[in-house]
């Protein structure tokens, strides 16, 4: 106390503040060397721990990052989880940011070891020198409210609807309800596939609600009587959701597994892993695991997709053998 | 000001070591404060630099007055988003500002301490809820209600207004309560002494006296609304079209930047940075307005003091 007393004599008098403030000040004056030293130690210590931690991690735990399509997320996540259980000291980080972001992450910024995409590469993306390995088959289902009497549409009708030229369900033989369009955002691989197969690159009606996720499209269609949207068949009837939507028959062909695998269903596509030409060992192991029958018949089917290979281990499909031939 | 005296903080009767320590600490604090300035400057410089090709490749006029936005066709007019941001913000203010200001009047003028101690933390807690939670609430609760009332999918300005107006309440309410509390008690007592009722005191005396502070609060709330991204993205429908009714989807500057940034490249990315620069300018203008108003008020009160 004595010290504070003498000091306050030399210091400018404080403005009449609260007692608390004066108290803080007094304590601060006494502790200031400790505070300064403490701060310094804290900062230095923190940075040391960080640096040590990072370098330590690399030595002990193998880690890869998988990012890209939200469609592929459930497969990649489930496979990563099981893979890490079987291989201790490995870490596989999976994230879904959209196909375009995944392609950029593995091909341009190199922030991911594996990119995932649910669409084909565009011209400038094919120059990125990436291996494109199909890991699952998928179909896009055009979904409507379960109470909608419409059961099927032609690709042309769907195109007209999404281009905004057909605006009422009565125009395609349904009830007199205005059509509420639900679209995906432009980063979506599903939208891209839909645009190329159905729209044939005719512009979408801009009046459509744009939602940034498959789940949200499904949710909104579930509760909106006049709505129409499109999602991966894998999400039409997922295990943990009990709200129904109706998937339409397109051009007279049902979106069944068989029709999608054979490509008869007009909205079929493949899901890909994108790998750099010289992937890390762990990335290669993870890919092989995803292509194994365990994942193909497990996680892939669980997520509602179709296996690219049935029960045949390590048998790459057409484009893999091509790209490995390039090596 | 004058009574604080020795402002430079030079200590006369202490040891050299203490002086060095004090100086070092002063420097540390300066650096901390400077980080903010540096960050603002760097971010603005970066955004401006990234947006600069806009002038030659799109043209400022086409960019600011174009009503069509189509990434597929490389057409970038941001009027739909400017208008969208404006509509969403204005509506949120019209609903939210009265709600918040009346809340603050209640808290500062009417509520008993016990009631106040329940309501004030509740209002402050609103500010602590992550915006994605508001958005989620909007998608799951508000949008279906709006859809039931007005048809469509329930995404559009109306849903945005409802969500945003709740989000800006804490900002406006706490700031305007501060403004009200800074009005000296004597003014209220004088008013009561003249025989004014409580309502008359609030309406004729306290509110006018705190006017500038309350307007400040509303402007800062406006800044919050215009910059809000996640919740808005989730509820407005994100259709790049001009206003087509309170129940038809629209898009805002912020939500469009989020939707586009993950995959944009080339001219599209430039356009997004241009939109970011415009958002930056808008919030800068808002902050500047607040500052100027505060300065004006200070000058006025000084003049009054002199007259007295």
Distance of alpha carbon A225 from alpha carbon B133, whole angstroms = 26
3-state helix, strand, coil in chain A (%, to 5): 45, 20, 35
Cα B290 to Cα B212: distance, rounded to the nearest angstrom? 9
Per-residue pLDDT at A39: 55
**Averaged pLDDT, A197-222:** 87
Which residues make Cβ contacts (< 8 Å) with residue B57, sequence separation at least 6? B267, B270
The fraction of chain A above a pLDDT of 90, given in percent, is 29
CB–CB of B4 and A12 under 8 A?
yes
Q: Does B12 touch chain A (CB under 8 A)?
A: yes
Instruction: Please check whether residue A126 is in contact with residue A296, taking contact to mean a CB–CB distance below 8 angstroms.
Output: no
Give the pLDDT band of residue A144 (cuts 50, 70, 90).
Answer: very high
Q: Which of B159, B167, B146, B140 is nearest to B228 (CA)?
A: B167
HSE-CB of B107 using CA atoms within 13 angstroms: 26
For chain A, what is the mean pLDDT? 77
Would the CB atoms of A212 and B152 count as touching at under 8 Å?
no
pLDDT (mean) for A9-14:
43
pLDDT exceeds cutoff 80 at A14: no
List CB contacts (< 8 A) between A180 and chain B.
152-153
Mutate which of B68, B157, B262 to test chain A, going by most A C-beta atoms within 10 A?
Answer: B262
Element (H, E) at B307: helix B266-307
Select the highest-mean-pLDDT range: A18-27, A155-164, B7-16: A155-164
- Quick: pLDDT tens for B44-74: 999 999 999 988 888 888 899 999 888 878 8
- Residue among A42, A182, A210, A212 with most chain B CBs within 10 A, to mutate: A210
Nearest CA distance, B223 vs chain A (angstrom): 25
Q: What φ, ψ does residue A272 adopt, rounded to 5°?
A: -125, 150
Q: Please answer whether residues B259 and A186 qualify as being in contact, where contact means their C-beta atoms are separated by less than 8 angstroms.
A: yes
Q: How far is B203 from chain A (nearest CA, A)?
A: 31
Q: Is A63 helix (H, G, I), strand (E, B) or coil?
A: strand
Which chain B residues have a beta carbon less than 8 Å from that of A39? 28
**B22 with B9: CB under 8 angstroms?**
yes
Higher-confidence residue: A23 or A46? A46
State residue A45's pLDDT score.
56
Nearest CB to A10; choose among B14, B28, B237: B14
Instruction: Give pTM, 2 decimals.
Output: 0.72
Contact B22 A32 (CB under 8 A): yes
Instruction: Give A311 or A243, the one with higher predicted confidence.
Output: A243
pLDDT score recorded for residue A54: 45
Pairing of strands A246-247, A130-144: antiparallel
Strands A152-153 and A249-250: parallel
Tell me the ipTM for this assembly: 0.77
- Per DSSP, the residues of B159-206 read HHHHHHHHHHHHHHHHHHHHHHHTS-HHHHHHHHHTT--HHHIIIIII
CB-CB: which of B12, B144, B153 is closest to A227?
Answer: B153
What string of DSSP letters covers A151-198? -EE-HHHHHHHHTTS--BGGGGTS-S-B-EEEEE-TT-HHHHHHIIII
Q: How far apart are CA B172 and CA B168, in angstroms?
A: 6
3-state class (DSSP) for residue A139: strand
Q: How confident is the model at residue A42 (pLDDT cuts 50, 70, 90)?
A: low
Which of B21, B144, B262 faces A187 most closely, judged by CB atoms? B262
Half-sphere exposure of residue B104: CA atoms within 13 angstroms, side-chain side: 30
Q: Name which of B74, B148, B153 to mutate to probe chain A: the one with the most chain A Cβ atoms within 10 A of its Cβ.
A: B153
Q: Is B269 on the interface with A (CB under 8 A)?
A: no
Q: Helices B211-227 and B157-181: crossing angle, nearest 10°?
A: 150
Dihedral of alpha carbons B105, B107, B109, B112, sign: positive
Q: Determine, for residues B25 and A36 on separate chains, whether the beta-carbon distance falls below 8 Å.
A: yes
Residue B211 in tokens: 């006017």
> To probe the interface with B, which of A209, A212, A217 has the most B CB atoms within 10 Å?
A209
pLDDT below 70 — which residues of chain B?
Answer: 1-12, 304-308
Chain A residues touching chain B at CB-CB below 8 Å: 6-7, 9-13, 15, 32-33, 35-36, 39, 97-98, 100-101, 104, 178, 180, 182, 185-187, 201, 203, 206-212, 216, 219-220, 223-224, 226-227
pLDDT in tens, A255-305: 888 888 888 898 888 889 999 988 889 999 999 999 998 888 888 888 778
Task: Compute how many other C-beta atoms are within 10 angstroms of the C-beta atom of residue A198.
Answer: 21
Q: What is the pLDDT of residues B208-256, one digit of tens each?
A: 999 989 999 999 999 999 999 899 999 999 988 898 888 899 999 999 9
Residues belonging to chain A: 327
């Amino acid at each position: 106390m004595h010290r504070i007393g003498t000091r306050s004599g030399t210091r400018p008098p404080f403005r009449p503040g609260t007692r608390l403030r004066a108290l803080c000040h007094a304590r601060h004056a006494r502790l200031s060397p400790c505070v300064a030293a403490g701060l310094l130690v804290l900062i230095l210590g923190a940075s040391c721990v960080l640096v040590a931690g990072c370098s330590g991690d690399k030595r002990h735990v193998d880690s890869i990052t998988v990012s890209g399509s939200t469609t592929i997320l459930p497969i990649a996540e489930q496979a990563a989880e099981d893979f890490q259980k079987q291989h201790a000291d490995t870490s596989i980080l999976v994230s879904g940011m959209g196909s375009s972001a995944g392609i950029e992450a593995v091909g341009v910024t190199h922030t991911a070891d594996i990119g995932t995409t649910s669409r084909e590469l565009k011209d400038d993306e094919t120059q990125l020198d990436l291996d494109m390995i199909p890991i699952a088959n998928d179909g896009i289902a055009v979904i409507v409210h379960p109470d909608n009497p419409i059961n099927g549409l032609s690709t042309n009708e769907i195109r007209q609807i999404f281009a905004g030229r057909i605006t009422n369900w009565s125009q395609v033989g349904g009830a007199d309800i205005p059509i509420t369009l639900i679209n995906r955002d432009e980063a979506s691989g599903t939208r891209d596939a839909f645009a190329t197969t159905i729209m044939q690159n005719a512009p979408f009606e801009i009046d459509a609600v744009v939602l940034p996720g498959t789940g949200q499209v499904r949710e909104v269609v579930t509760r909106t009587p006049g709505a129409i949207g499109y999602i991966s068949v894998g999400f039409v009837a997922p295990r943990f959701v009990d709200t129904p939507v109706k998937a339409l028959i397109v051009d007279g062909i049902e979106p069944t597994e068989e029709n999608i695998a054979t490509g008869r269903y007009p909205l079929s596509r493949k899901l890909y892993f994108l790998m750099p030409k010289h992937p890390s060992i762990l990335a290669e192991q993870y890919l092989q695991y995803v292509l194994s029958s365990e994942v193909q018949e497990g996680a892939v089917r669980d997520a509602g997709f179709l296996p690219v290979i049935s029960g045949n281990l390590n048998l790459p499909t057409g484009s893999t053998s091509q790209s490995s031939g390039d090596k | 000001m004058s009574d604080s005296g020795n402002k430079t903080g030079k200590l006369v009767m202490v040891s050299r070591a203490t002086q060095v320590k004090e100086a070092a600490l002063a420097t540390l604090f300066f650096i901390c404060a400077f980080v903010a300035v540096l960050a603002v400057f760097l971010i603005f410089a970066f955004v401006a630099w990234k947006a600069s090709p806009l002038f030659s490749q799109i043209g400022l006029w086409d960019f600011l007055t174009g009503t069509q936005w189509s990434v597929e066709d490389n057409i970038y007019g941001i009027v739909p988003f400017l208008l969208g941001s404006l509509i969403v913000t204005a509506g949120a203010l019209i609903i939210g500002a009265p709600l918040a200001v009346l809340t603050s009047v209640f808290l500062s003028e009417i509520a008993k301490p016990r009631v106040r101690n329940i309501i004030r933390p509740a209002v402050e807690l609103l500010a602590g809820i992550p915006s994605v939670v508001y958005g989620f609430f909007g998608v799951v609760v508000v949008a279906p209600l709006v859809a039931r009332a007005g048809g469509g999918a329930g995404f559009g300005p109306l849903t945005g207004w409802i969500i945003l107006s709740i989000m800006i309440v804490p900002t406006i309410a706490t700031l305007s309560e501060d403004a009200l509390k800074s009005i000296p008690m004597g003014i209220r007592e004088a008013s009561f002494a003249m025989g004014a009722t409580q309502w008359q005191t609030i309406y004729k005396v306290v509110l006018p006296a705190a006017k500038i502070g309350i307007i400040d609060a509303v402007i800062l709330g406006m800044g919050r609304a215009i910059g809000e991204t996640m919740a808005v993205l989730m509820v407005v429908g994100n259709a790049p079209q001009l206003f087509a009714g309170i129940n038809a989807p629209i898009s805002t500057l912020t939500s469009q930047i989020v939707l586009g940034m993950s995959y944009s490249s080339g001219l599209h990315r430039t356009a997004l940075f241009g939109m970011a620069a415009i958002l930056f300018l808008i919030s800068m203008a808002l902050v500047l307005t607040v500052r100027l108003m505060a300065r004006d008020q200070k000058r006025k009160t000084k003049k009054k003091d002199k007259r007295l």
